[in-house]
Amino acid sequence: MTRGEHGISREDVSPNALKVMYRLNGAGFESYLVGGCVRDILMGHEPKDFDVATNATPEQIKGLFRNCRLIGRRFRLAHIVFGREVIEVATFRGHHSEEPEAKEVPKNKAVSKRDAHGQLVRDNVFGSIEEDAERRDFTFNAMYYSVADFTVKDFANGLEAIEKREVRLIGDPEVRYREDPVRMLRAVRFATKLSMRISDDTAAPIKQLASLLNNIPAARLFEETLKLFLSGQGEKTFLMLREYGLIAPLFPQLAPFIEDENSREMQFVRKVLQNTDERINNDQRVTPAFLYAALLWYPLEERAQIMQAESGLSAHDAFNLASTEVIAKQTQRIMIPKRFSTVIRDIWILQQRLPKRFGRRAFQLLTHPKFRAGYDFLLVRGQVEGGALLELAQWWTHFQHGEPGKQKKMLNDLRRQEGDGPKPRKRKRRPASRNTDA
């Protein structure tokens, strides 16, 4: 496509990405903007980042840029750092030659390697731009913009997919999912992000192959779930993941609780995701800890009840032990960094402490560093479950914003209503000292 046909201007492109392409071209290499940035510009969206593809090897790229670092094991990439912006540069990938058979392969020739499930575990195979396009995942990600002649090369009818609003894999879907099971998550993410549908042939194998996500490193799945749920389309994404059977491999403890569309657990998760989407779309801060605390709350409640019934532990001890167990099981599937797991625990513990409001406890809880997160969590629980839980959440809503006199009155009223609140301890009177002056 010529510039007149695609309408992409250099003004749409990051100046740092242009610098990278100009330097690669000046050194005699081919270079192109590729993937999501080209797709987003053609769709009228502002790209979040700009990726470049080239026929230069990672070592040749590093030789041209002092601000370059090489990353990756499965496939080597170059990250060229401009302050906070990172331009990712990838060498054109070639077709898999797999492990050498009878004929001898030179030591410097790269080969790919798959595991028993067909997943690529090594993929440093370089090739031509045509081969690279065939190796891309979705058709709308196989479009290449050249700053040398301002054309767009569309190798897989990506523009047609955009016009049809269709997410379609390049090649055989089952083979492509086996190569990298995360593509199933990406298909869902693109469908919700771009308001598209997943084509029938691309969607067909997902349920059958969902369990392959168990082979993905937990650290990588943490990054992928952030993209899924913190995009401003978290609720829609969650519902589509559920539709395609992708919740169980990500959150196995939650899956049994959301089989019923109308269950309180399902309504709770949806409400939290709705609130998260609203905050993100209003440019307000969110923390993954709150979302994970919600996704694991009902599994925690059930596990604590079982542990208390089976072992005779106190409610407090059972809750703490269950918290540790639930987080440990989840981190086997999705790594949760300690900076978030600590906050998850704080939110959960506050659910146990917020009902205890007598004396100075209410004022002490207001000073807790995670009070706001704990209160917000309680409020959503109350909105879903109603009853005494909602009354408790409403009490805290009024108390935290009340004047000191009003707060004192609320506590006095609460003591009278409850009738069984902690009574003030009676002071023991000291016996009167005897007068020894007789």
Cβ–Cβ under 8 Å, residues 70 and 76: yes
Gap between the Cα atoms of 289 and 342, Å rounded? 8
Where in the sequence numbering do the catalytic residues fall?
49, 51, 137
3-class secondary-structure state, position 53? strand
Q: Taking phi first (over 0 means left), then psi (-120 to 50 degrees means alpha), and beta for anything else, what does residue 130 get?
A: alpha
Instruction: Report the Cα 384 to chain-centroid distance in Å.
Output: 24
For 192, residues 6+ apart whose C-beta sits below 8 A from its C-beta are 231, 233, 236, 237, 240
Q: Quick one: tokens of 134?
A: 């065939």
Gap between the Cα atoms of 49 and 85, Å rounded? 8
Gap between the Cα atoms of 353 and 87, Å rounded? 47
For 262, residues 6+ apart whose C-beta sits below 8 A from its C-beta are none
Q: What sign for the dihedral angle of Cα 122, 124, 125, 131?
A: positive
Gap between the Cα atoms of 317 and 225, Å rounded? 31
Start-to-end CA distance of the chain, whole Å, equals 117
Cβ–Cβ under 8 Å, residues 113 and 122: yes
Cβ–Cβ under 8 Å, residues 47 and 37: yes
Gap between the Cα atoms of 159 and 155, Å rounded? 10
Q: Quick one: tokens of 78?
A: 């170059």
Helix (H) and strand (E) counts for the chain? 22, 11
Element at 182 (helix H, strand E): helix 182-193
Element at 122 (helix H, strand E): strand 120-122
